Amino acid sequence: MIKKTNVLHSLRPKSKWVLRGDDLEWHDTEQTRPTDAEIATELARLQTQYDANEYQRDRAAEYPSIPDQLDTLYHSGLDAWKAQIKTVKDKYPK
């Protein structure tokens, strides 16, 4: 789930504000405060992007550690390593 803080950082990078609960206090004099509509639109965009990349998060959690991958390469060769990685990629396709 995308947080409102992420949305604000995306809309107005390096802006100055405080978020208390759902109340936004705008302290930036150089950037305008985003409207509720802008926030809702950006939230939807970021959530769609996040959801579309779920396979990346799933793969990352299931890949063997780098030391284990290197061990597979050393002891079993490139083809064995490719097969190990392909198993995860096949389980979580793009």
| Claim to verify: residue 9 and residue 26 sit in the same structural domain | yes
Tell me the residue range of the domain where 34 lies: 4-52
pTM (two decimals): 0.74
Residues 46 and 59 in one domain: no
Q: Please tell me whether residues 68 and 36 are part of one structural domain.
A: no
Distances (CA, A) of 27 to 7, 42, 83: 17, 20, 54
Domain check: are 9 and 45 in the same one? yes
Q: What is the pLDDT of residues 29-75, one digit of tens each?
A: 999 999 999 999 999 999 999 999 999 999 999 999 999 999 999 99
Cα(22)–Cα(17) distance, rounded to whole angstroms?
Answer: 12
How confident is the model over 64-76, as pLDDT tens digits? 999 999 999 999 9
Burial of 2 (0-12, 13-18, 19+ CB in 10 A): middle
**Same domain flag for 69 and 31:** no
Q: Is the domain of 58 the same as that of 84?
A: yes
Which neighbouring-strand residues pair with 82? none
Is residue 59 located within the same domain as residue 47? no
